Structure 1
């Protein structure tokens, strides 16, 4: 049976803030909606599920993020994920210029967890704490001319 990657879904505390962050990095909004009803309760496994959602896509069309802000049930705040915890870890993006991307992130109050690393002169990498505590990895391919 063939399988195709569809998207990564991330619950956020402020949908507009998250959309602004990811669109400033270069993603585009494919659509927005408010979802609720029996189908949503069944699919998600929450009674009274009601959320605002936005689907974003990378410029090359291969990657999608579904961001959702819960209206009901009330969202549960948790501690931000740390890099060594089991479970959803991070979302990663290739960028043309990591310094430019980090500047964009900084304008949103989002900064690297430690700094920018150089992996074998092939990549410059940084983990950024994004909106709602999401870990976002930015990677610049140094082998591209």
Structure 2
């Protein structure tokens, strides 16, 4: 069986406030590499929503390998939902490896975002935590302790 080439392009996250989300993720170290406002038949078709109209921003990690596409809906109106719990089925968090978890947590705290419970130590390999980012997004931060 022949396999096609595949790679992860980005993770898309709908947010309540695009500028607040951009500020949070750029403070963590991502860079905005593009912004746009999209609408029209092509977006209706691609996304599957009539009248799809959104402001978007593409952000990238410093190594150039990870990307987030953040979007704020203009139309149809965004639907508020309860923040996802860690044990709910479906997509619900984005994870970042960081060089210094304390620096990352200080950046997150500037946005009122703190660990759900605390920072855990996984077998002296990682320090990691989950926190609520903008729009209730679950964000995992992990610092590798044993560099191999």
Distance 2:59 2:144 in 1: 23
Distance 1:126 1:69 in 2: 26
Q: How far did 1:32 drift?
A: 0.1
Q: Which runs of 5+ in 1 are unaligned?
A: none
Match of 1:141 in 2: 144
Match of 1:7 in 2: 10
Structure 1 counterpart of 2:23, from 20, 31, 40: 20
Distance 1:107 1:144 in 2: 29
Give the alignment's Cα RMSD to 1 decimal: 0.8
Q: How far did 1:6 drift?
A: 0.3
Q: How far did 1:4 drift?
A: 1.1
The answer on 1:69 being equivalent to 2:72 is yes
The answer on 1:103 being equivalent to 2:106 is yes
Q: Secondary structure at the match of 1:118?
A: strand
Deviation track 1:70-128 (CA, whole Å, cap 9, x = no partner) reads 00000000000000000112100000100111011011000111100000000000101
Distance 2:92 2:44 in 1: 26
Match of 2:34 in 1: 31
Distance 1:85 1:10 in 2: 17
TM-score after normalising by structure 1: 0.99
Structure 2 counterpart of 1:87, from 72, 87, 90: 90
Runs of 4+ in structure 1 over 4 Å off: none
Match of 1:42 in 2: 45
When the two structures are aligned, how many residues end up with a matched partner? 145
Distance 2:38 2:115 in 1: 33
Distance 1:23 1:107 in 2: 12
Q: Which runs of 5+ in 2 are unaligned?
A: none
Distance 1:89 1:41 in 2: 24
